[in-house]
Structures are given as structure tokens and as C-alpha cells.
Structure 1
């Protein structure tokens, strides 16, 4: 599955992985179904990541709230705490460019790739995200035997400073650099830990 993650070519990268091992393959299969339900319910990610972290909502091609599992062409609308994004009316936007599931005898995996994009509720084509569109966030959950993992891989993370006001450029650089250093790593670790949490 890692061959699906775009190669790192510019800017920063991040890799966040949480794993748990269960007592048997059958237990792991049952728990993976729960992990998968959590994973495709993007609107509930903040429940797993913790309330002080970013808010996520899944949006359709018109930018309207979607309660379905994500599909290619949908959007994630993200509210980063503390730093309002003027371009996206307070939100950062990414678009789903891949959603894939794989199953074999002893493993299963679900993969989502998103990329910074413009706000679909506006006619403006300006990227409404603190990263440049070269960046991707790659989310995946997988089970191999009795081991389950949740992963987030950021690639080519460059601050978005195109076609923006000075205020927006400063904001994006601050959020991007903060994210590249520590903030997003902390955030993603909360999410990956929350997604795979096992409650007997």
C-alpha cells in the first residue's frame, strides 16, 4: 500500500503510525470492522482526535455536508483551531483524489489521499489551504494478521503563498511551519491512536 503514497520531492514530510496487536486473527478482523467504520466517518474524526484539535467534515462536490463514506471528488473541510483562514471563510479545504480498498487472505487496507484545493462553495479558484497543492495527506488503516495500524503520511508540504494577501501568506506560513514542526504530528497521532483504540 505504501507504493500508493506519492514520492517526497519538495518541502517537508511527516509519518505518523499507531499500531495494536490483538490476541487472535478473528478478534483483529472484528475490531478492524469497527476501525473501518470510524475511518470512513470523517465527520466524527474530531471525536477520536480530541476536541481541541482540528474539526473535520466531509463535503460533496457542491460543498454540502455528506454523511456517506468518502469518494473521489468529495472534499474535507477542516477548521484549524486558533488560525482563521480568510480564503476559505475560516476553513481549509482538501479534495479526495484516491479512495481504495484492498483485501487478501490475511490482510485488508483502506487508503484515502487528499490534496489542497479551492473552496467548492465559491467561484474563486484560489487554494483555500495552508499547504500548496503539491502537498498530499495520505490516510490509511490496515490489518495484517492480528495487527491493526492507522497511518497518516504527509508529503511535499510547502506553505501556500500563491495569489494571497500578505496576511494570508503569513497565516499559511505560520500554520504550515507549525504543522511541519510539531502541531500536525501531535494532531495526527491523536487521530491514529483514536481510530485503532480497542475497547474490550
Structure 2
């Protein structure tokens, strides 16, 4: 059984749309693969550089109190996303997700780092609906894994439904438009560029 089948933190797909994006590299030795796995993990955790890696949206990390930070992402942090086009009013022009879980796993065959994020309100805001074009049921799980001499970066979106039940009618209209575009696969290039960037030679 493959390691991906043995160990996975990707939520089950129950409703809405989903997306799966992967990029891998093969190495000649375990040492080379292990060294590059470390590079890829640092790139994944350095969320403020995701925009430079992907070349589309920009990403900025905030702590649980809403302070902009320049460090590796941690569980409980927020990520502010500036996607092309108009943003949410509730998010001051941005989409927001929160890091729900960071998992590190290692066994005899596999090393893995996974970050799961979920649409959220803006830090310290009183709104109850996420400042994001998707509902809170949606998740994105970003993974870097090494299986023997193969290193792979992945993004898995699950339960993606447009967030059209907010208290702001303009946000509802915008989220329907952006969420519909994501459902049609227009978010795929964003994540494909990110996982390819993570897999670029060091």
C-alpha cells in the first residue's frame, strides 16, 4: 500500500466541488531527496513568499491577534489573500483563511508536512461569516511529502461552495462570481504554480 493511502489528512469530499493538484520530482539518492524535502518544507511554511512562488495572488501571514508577522506559519495563524479582482468588504478587500492544523509525520518510508486551512473571518472581527469567497465547510490542504526518492508537493481543495450567505449583499454577489469561477477550475492555475514553485530546484 502506498504511503499516501496509509497516511492522509485530507478531509472527505461531501458537497460542492474539489480540486487536486500535484507536482513531484525524482532524485537519485535518499540523501538528495531528504535534503530537498527540507527545502520544500521551508518553502511551504514560508507563507509570505507564496505570492512570489505562484506569481498570481499575494499572501500575508498574521498571528491570532491580527498582527502581521514574518516567520513560518503556525497553527492558529491567519492568512490574508489578495486575489485578482475585487475583494470582500468584510475582509477589508481581502479573503482570509486560518491555519487549522499543521501535521508532521515520519515513518520508515515517508516524511510528510501538511497544512490545512479553512475560510475564516478577518482576525478580531465580529462577523460570523467568513471573509472569503467559499463557505467555512471548505478546506485547502497543502502537503509536502517524501516517499523514498520521490518528493511531492500537493494542494487538495474539498467541499468548495460559494459563500453567498453573508450579511453583505455586495460580498454575496462577489463571492458567487469568484466561487463560480473556482468551481469551473480557474483556481487550478494558482495552486499548480504554487506546487511547481515549491518543487523548483534549490
Please classify the TM superposition score into its range, dividing by the shorter chain length: over 0.9
CA drift of 1:129 comes to 0.4
Select which of 26, 34, 39 maps to 2:39. Answer: 34
Q: Distance in 1 between matches of 2:169 and 2:151?
A: 44
- Supply the RMSD in Å over aligned alpha carbons: 1.4
Moved over 4 A (4+): none
Q: Secondary structure at the match of 2:178?
A: helix
1:16 corresponds in structure 2 to: 21
TM-score, normalized by length of structure 1?
Answer: 0.93
Deviations 1:161-190 (A, max 9, x none): 113333211110111111121221010000
User: Is 1:70 equivalent to 2:73 in the alignment?
Assistant: yes
Deviations 1:78-127 (A, max 9, x none): 11111222110011111111101011233210001111111114233331
Q: Secondary structure at the match of 1:131?
A: coil
2:106 corresponds in structure 1 to: 103
Contact 1:54-1:81 within 8 A present in 2 as well: yes
Unaligned runs of 5+ in 2: none
CA drift of 1:25 comes to 1.2
Aligned pairs for 1:103-142 (under 5 A) are 103-142=106-145
Unaligned runs of 5+ in 1: none
TM-score, normalized by length of structure 2?
Answer: 0.92
Q: Distance in 1 between matches of 2:76 and 2:181?
A: 28
Aligned pairs for 1:73-92 (under 5 A) are 73-92=76-95
1:160 corresponds in structure 2 to: 163
Q: Secondary structure at the match of 1:102?
A: strand
Contact 1:83-1:175 within 8 A present in 2 as well: no
Q: Distance in 2 between matches of 1:122 and 1:134?
A: 19
1:54 corresponds in structure 2 to: 57
CA drift of 1:198 comes to 1.3
User: Is 1:7 equivalent to 2:12 in the alignment?
Assistant: yes
Select which of 174, 191, 197 maps to 1:188. Answer: 191
CA drift of 1:141 comes to 0.5
